[in-house]
Amino acid sequence: MKKVKPFIRMKFGGIDGFKLPFSLFADGSVEIVNESEFEEAEDWEDEDMEDLEGGDDYFDDEIEDEEENDAEMVCGYPDGYASGKPRGEYCVIDLSPVGKEDSDSVKYRVSYMDKMPEGGWGDEYKTNKIVLKLVKAGEYVMGTDKNDVISNVNPPQKVRLPNDFYIGVFPVTRQQYELVGELKLDSKWPEKNDGKQPVYDVPYIEIRGDMEGIGWPEYADIDDASFLGILRKRCGIKNIDLPTAAQWEYACKAGIDEMEQGDLESFAWFKDNSEGMVHPVGLLRPNGWGLYDMLGNVWEWCLDCYGCPSYEFYDESDIITAPIGVMQMMPKRRAILPFMAPPNDNVREIRGCGWNTEGKSCNASSRGFCSPFQGCDFIGFRLAIILDTGRE
């Protein structure tokens, strides 16, 4: 039986012929590049609003509902999202297919380990196996007050993560992505490609899907034909996903709230040492919890919409439990995207900075954003699994 490609690659810069009339930069800033397209987008917005049943009243009612529900939406995961118990310090998903040649019948083996292999993580864990590390539930200070040095950060806020979770020891690599998607990716740096570089130029909707997958945080479903849809079906882990921004920052800081975590060049590929390209994962030293490439190399997609309105409802002394970014609009100090975005079409948060980021901005609290329909050569992702707290 002929294999069918499980998902279709999206083209950078637009979808179905629609070009996004703005440029996205590594620091998260946006610049409108074509005023005529901006005006066309505004006309498109007006026409679509008139076509919707109920006209302006439709949007007024929806906005009122959102205002009433904002406080309860910003904290906590969707019902049933956290499941399972930690079975070891590491979860390993073997991408070697088990089963028939038919893509629908392929399964992946999942195993657990209490310590890393002797000699460390070999190439197999960067190519045909995905390894995730257990991170225990806890509290930390999310954000920083060093906004005079780092732009685009949250103010300090105490955050509680009530659930244990696994998070990728490495970002997902090109070979891992190709194995799951049964495809061959183009490479911006083909002469340097050995499959162990982090995957890049992958839109959010290709990872989670553009139907169900764009609905976070209202619900946690993903599209069956997306990268995560295929991975979930084959490995049997129903809630393997992207991390939330709060989980990502907690894992990146690894118990250290100080702005500097040491000599940046020893654990991050950024503008000064990257030579203008991505590098294979795991070459530099890990953070305090054994996670590699958390800073630099590529920015990483998070589940959240950009922003976290929970900061409007809490004092700095309060503790927010499991915050989820659900902001519907960009902060006023940033440019508004030049088109009317439906409620589930929000820009998504990216973390970790990339190979082209200035060293002063490469920090665990730095934040960026990107349209979920867009891919960039400096954005990749790593995986996470949210658990019920406690061991079996």
Cβ contacts of 75 within 8 Å, gap of 6 or more: 310, 320, 321, 322, 323, 324
pLDDT given for residue 79 in this prediction: 65
Any domain includes 282: yes
Section 311-318 average pLDDT? 56
Q: Is residue 2 part of a domain?
A: no
CA dist 238 → 195, 234, 311 (Å): 26, 10, 30
Domain region containing 283: 14-33+74-386
pLDDT of residue 360: 85
| pLDDT value of position 230 | 95
Crossing angle of helices 174-181/227-235, nearest 10°?
80
Number of independent structural domains in the chain: 1
Strand order in the sheet with 157-161: 138-142, 157-161, 319-321
pLDDT for the residue numbered 263: 85
Q: Do 87 and 134 contact (CB within 8 A), yes or no? A: no
Q: What's the average model confidence in pLDDT over 330-345? A: 33
Bridge-based pairing state of the strands 384-386 and 240-241: antiparallel
Could you tell me if residue 250 is inside a domain? Answer: yes
Tens of pLDDT along 175-202?
999 999 988 888 787 767 789 999 999 9
| Domain-embedded: residue 352 | yes
Please tell me the distance from the alpha carbon of residue 294 to that of residue 300, in angstroms, as a whole number: 9
Q: How many other C-beta atoms lie within 10 A of the C-beta of residue 6?
A: 21
pLDDT reported for residue 332: 33
Q: Is the pLDDT of residue 24 over 70?
A: no
Residue 230 is assigned to a structural domain of this protein: yes
Coil, strand or helix at 168: strand
Under the banding of pLDDT at 50, 70 and 90, the label for residue 205 is very high
* Domain presence at residue 327: yes
pLDDT at position 98 over 70: yes
How many other C-beta atoms are found inside a 10 Å radius of the C-beta of residue 306? Answer: 25
pLDDT at residue number 35: 46
347 inside domain: yes
pLDDT at 272 over 70: yes
> For residues 148 and 139, what is the distance between their CA atoms, to the nearest angstrom?
25
In a domain, 290, yes or no: yes
* CATH number of 264's domain: 3.90.1580.10
Strand partners, 129: 94
**pLDDT surpassing 70 at residue 336:** no
